[in-house]
């Protein structure tokens, strides 16, 4: 298959160049009838003997790059890159760039293609150097910046990623502020790991300035406030999440309850959870609410509450908790306890392998929250699952 394609390309390219040469009597051309056949058949011979490198040498020698044959070079270079023969693609594109007859537009296109070759071969530093030459180019600038963003994301160089994406957004007129906010959050995480909470807070402020709906920034701010012993601050950071994106509410409960506990205000925690549960439902809110009720009023009241909720909002995790509460209540009856233990085991098996998080873009399932989807690389697309079995 690959040999056939190469034959077709070379025949087409040579025929085109030869025809163009004959057609234009004013322009000097290397394709005179004495020159063409020997090299042409030599090239074909290499192709047929599956020696593509030698065929390329002939091909490059044979076709002087001009406006008629440039597209053929691009087509051949792309063909090699798509097939993973990157070294050959690089030689073709470097050969193109070296030609003085190339127009400026063709030269920048060849540079861009060369950058893609380096990306494909994993030599990110060379790809970066090539794409950086193109960032101000009217035709290739946006595409080159998109590639640079990809490189900086792979290298986790978030400062450069912010610069490149900001410039790309300006050039293309698109809005990238939510992704830029995620980059600031990455910087905040790094600063926090280095125990530089002032710098972390600056990065969080930058994230929220770019995207006021950035849930990750609120969660980070709350974690830092909790470490600093500021429970009131924790609560105000976390209560913002409801307005930012209620899909992430299940992520705030553990921190929020710790903050309320530090303040000795469990009644307020119950009230907040109850309001959130009435407005949005959600298994996580229900489980935390039942736990609070159990601490305040005991097993019987919390089991009654859970049973009531499961009638209208059934969930596997809710049922599991109801069984556990009944295990406590059925302490006197050995037979009832044994049967409840069987039921508890069954519910665990039913939700054991269910995903807790899922990407809304590509369907990637996860056990932990990823801010960038490991599957499709989208940002903020992995969200908590809240259905009958998961959550
Ligand atoms: Zn995804």
Does any domain span residue 58?
A: yes
pLDDT in tens, 160-210: 999 999 999 999 999 999 999 999 999 999 999 999 999 999 999 999 999
Specify whether 56 is located in the same domain as 140. Answer: yes
User: How many angstroms is it from 156 CA to the middle of ligand 1?
Assistant: 19
User: How many angstroms is it from 240 CA to the middle of ligand 1?
Assistant: 25
User: How many angstroms is it from 372 CA to the middle of ligand 1?
Assistant: 8
Specify whether 345 is located in the same domain as 361. Answer: no
User: How many angstroms is it from 370 CA to the middle of ligand 1?
Assistant: 10
CA-CA distance, 150 to 152, in Å (whole number)?
Answer: 6
User: How many angstroms is it from 380 CA to the middle of ligand 1?
Assistant: 9
Question: Any idea which of 56-70, 237-251, 303-317 has the lowest mean pLDDT?
Answer: 56-70
Query: 259-266: which pairs have CB atoms within 8 A and are 24 or more residues apart?
Result: 259/222, 259/226, 259/231, 259/232, 259/234, 259/235, 260/231, 260/235, 262/229, 262/231, 263/231, 263/232, 263/235, 266/292, 266/295, 266/296
User: How many angstroms is it from 371 CA to the middle of ligand 1?
Assistant: 10
Question: Any idea which of 184-188, 226-230, 290-294, 348-352 has the lowest mean pLDDT?
Answer: 348-352
User: How many angstroms is it from 368 CA to the middle of ligand 1?
Assistant: 13
Mean pLDDT of the chain: 86
User: How many angstroms is it from 387 CA to the middle of ligand 1?
Assistant: 19
pLDDT in tens, 99-109: 888 889 999 99
pTM equals 0.80
User: How many angstroms is it from 21 CA to the middle of ligand 1?
Assistant: 52
Specify whether 48 is located in the same domain as 81. Answer: yes
User: How many angstroms is it from 34 CA to the middle of ligand 1?
Assistant: 59
CB distance 101 to 63 below 8 Å: no
CATH of the domain at 151: 1.25.40.10
Does any domain span residue 219?
A: no
Domain that holds residue 382: 353-391
User: How many angstroms is it from 155 CA to the middle of ligand 1?
Assistant: 20
pLDDT at residue number 25: 44
Does any domain span residue 44?
A: yes
CB distance 352 to 318 below 8 Å: no
What does each C-alpha distance from 143 to 125, 139, 156 come to in angstroms? 17, 8, 20
CA-CA distance, 234 to 256, in Å (whole number)?
Answer: 7
User: How many angstroms is it from 177 CA to the middle of ligand 1?
Assistant: 19
Does any domain span residue 308?
A: yes
User: How many angstroms is it from 365 CA to the middle of ligand 1?
Assistant: 9
Does any domain span residue 89?
A: yes
The vertex-125 CA angle with 170 and 86, nearest 5°, equals 105
User: How many angstroms is it from 203 CA to the middle of ligand 1?
Assistant: 25
User: How many angstroms is it from 279 CA to the middle of ligand 1?
Assistant: 28
Does any domain span residue 79?
A: yes
What does each C-alpha distance from 375 to 98, 179, 365, 379 come to in angstroms? 39, 17, 9, 11
pLDDT in tens, 218-271: 999 999 999 999 999 999 999 999 999 999 999 999 999 999 999 999 889 999
Interhelix angle 52-62/35-48, rounded to 10 degrees, is 160
- Percent of the chain at pLDDT > 70 equals 81
CA-CA distance, 79 to 85, in Å (whole number)?
Answer: 9
What does each C-alpha distance from 163 to 43, 69, 263, 314 come to in angstroms? 47, 37, 42, 48
Specify whether 12 is located in the same domain as 153. Answer: yes
Specify whether 138 is located in the same domain as 8. Answer: yes
pLDDT at residue number 386: 78
User: CA nearest 339: which of 360, 350, 323, 315?
Assistant: 323
pLDDT at residue number 315: 85
User: How many angstroms is it from 379 CA to the middle of ligand 1?
Assistant: 8
Specify whether 29 is located in the same domain as 121. Answer: yes
Specify whether 374 is located in the same domain as 326. Answer: no
Specify whether 164 is located in the same domain as 302. Answer: no
- Number of neighbouring beta carbons within 10 Å of residue 308: 10
Specify whether 344 is located in the same domain as 361. Answer: no
Specify whether 365 is located in the same domain as 312. Answer: no
Specify whether 286 is located in the same domain as 386. Answer: no
Does any domain span residue 187?
A: no
Report the chain's terminal Cα–Cα distance, integer Å: 50
* Structural domains counted in the chain: 3
Does any domain span residue 265?
A: no
Specify whether 360 is located in the same domain as 300. Answer: no
């Amino acid at each position: 298959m690959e040999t056939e394609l190469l034959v077709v390309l070379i025949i087409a390219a040579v025929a085109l160049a030869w025809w163009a040469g004959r057609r234009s009597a004013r322009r000097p051309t290397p394709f005179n009838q004495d020159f063409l056949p020997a090299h042409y058949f030599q090239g074909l011979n290499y192709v047929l003997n599956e020696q593509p490198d030698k065929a390329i040498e002939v091909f490059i020698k044979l076709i002087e790059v001009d406006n008629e044959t440039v597209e053929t070079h691009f087509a051949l270079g792309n063909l090699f890159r798509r097939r993973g023969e990157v070294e050959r693609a690089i030689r073709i594109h470097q050969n193109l760039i070296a030609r003085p007859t190339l127009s400026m537009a063709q030269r920048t296109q060849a540079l861009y293609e060369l950058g893609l070759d380096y990306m494909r071969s994993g030599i990110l530093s060379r790809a970066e150097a090539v794409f950086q030459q193109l960032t101000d180019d009217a035709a290739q600038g946006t595409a080159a910046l998109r590639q640079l963003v990809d490189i900086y994301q792979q290298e986790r160089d978030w400062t450069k990623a912010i610069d490149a994406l900001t410039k790309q957004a300006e050039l293309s007129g698109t809005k990238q502020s939510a992704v830029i906010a995620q980059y600031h959050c990455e910087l905040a995480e790094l600063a926090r790991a280095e125990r530089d909470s002032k710098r972390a807070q600056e990065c969080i402020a930058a994230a929220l300035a770019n995207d006021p709906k950035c849930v990750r920034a609120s969660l980070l701010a709350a974690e830092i406030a909790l470490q600093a012993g500021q429970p009131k601050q924790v609560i105000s950071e976390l209560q913002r999440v409801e307005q930012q994106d209620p899909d992430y509410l299940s992520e705030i409960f553990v921190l929020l309850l710790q903050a309320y506990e530090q303040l000795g205000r469990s009644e307020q925690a119950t009230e907040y959870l109850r309001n959130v549960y009435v407005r949005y439902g959600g298994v996580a809110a229900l489980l935390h609410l039942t736990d609070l009720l159990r601490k305040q009023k005991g097993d019987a009241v919390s089991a009654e509450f859970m049973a009531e909720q499961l009638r209208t909002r059934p969930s596997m995790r809710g049922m599991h908790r109801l069984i556990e509460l009944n295990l406590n209540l059925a302490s006197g009856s050995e037979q009832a306890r044994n049967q409840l233990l069987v039921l508890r085991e069954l519910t665990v098996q039913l939700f054991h392998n269910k995903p807790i998080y899922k990407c809304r873009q590509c369907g990637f399932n996860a056990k932990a929250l990823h801010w960038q989807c490991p599957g499709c690389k989208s940002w903020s697309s992995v969200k908590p699952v809240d259905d009958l079995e998961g959550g």
